[in-house]
Amino acid sequence: MRDDLPTMPDEIDKLIHEPARLKIMSLLYVIESGDFTFLMRQTGLTWGNLSSHMTKLEDAGYIDVEKEFKGKRPNTMLSLTDTGRVAFRVYRRMMRSMLDTLPE
């Protein structure tokens, strides 16, 4: 899996590095998809906050928004795109390597 990752960038991905977005990305990384309520509950973010971070992540192509129906009610499910997954893995690897090189 790690071998598929692109070359390490020079800078950390600031879009993911922001704490609230890091929470969202981490959560979406470990599940297939979730709706707004689920993400709100798990991240502790307010709806407005979550919504604005989601827009940024969606604009970057990290998040996919899929509208589906649960009975007659529409429900929007959010998931990481392949680009988002790769970006998150690169971010993790970069953070690890940065922190591992720090002296004790």
Binding footprint of other proteins on the chain (CB under 8 A): 19, 22-23, 26-27, 29-42, 47, 65, 67, 70, 73-77, 92, 95
Identify the residue whose tokens are 């509950």: 41
Residue 32 Cβ, how far from other proteins at the closest point, in Å? 4
User: Length of the chain in residues, anyone?
Assistant: 104
| Distance separating alpha carbons of residues 66 and 44, to the nearest angstrom | 22
Q: Which of 59, 62, 55 is nearest to 86 (CA)?
A: 62
Residue 103 Cβ, how far from other proteins at the closest point, in Å? 18
Residue 41 Cβ, how far from other proteins at the closest point, in Å? 6
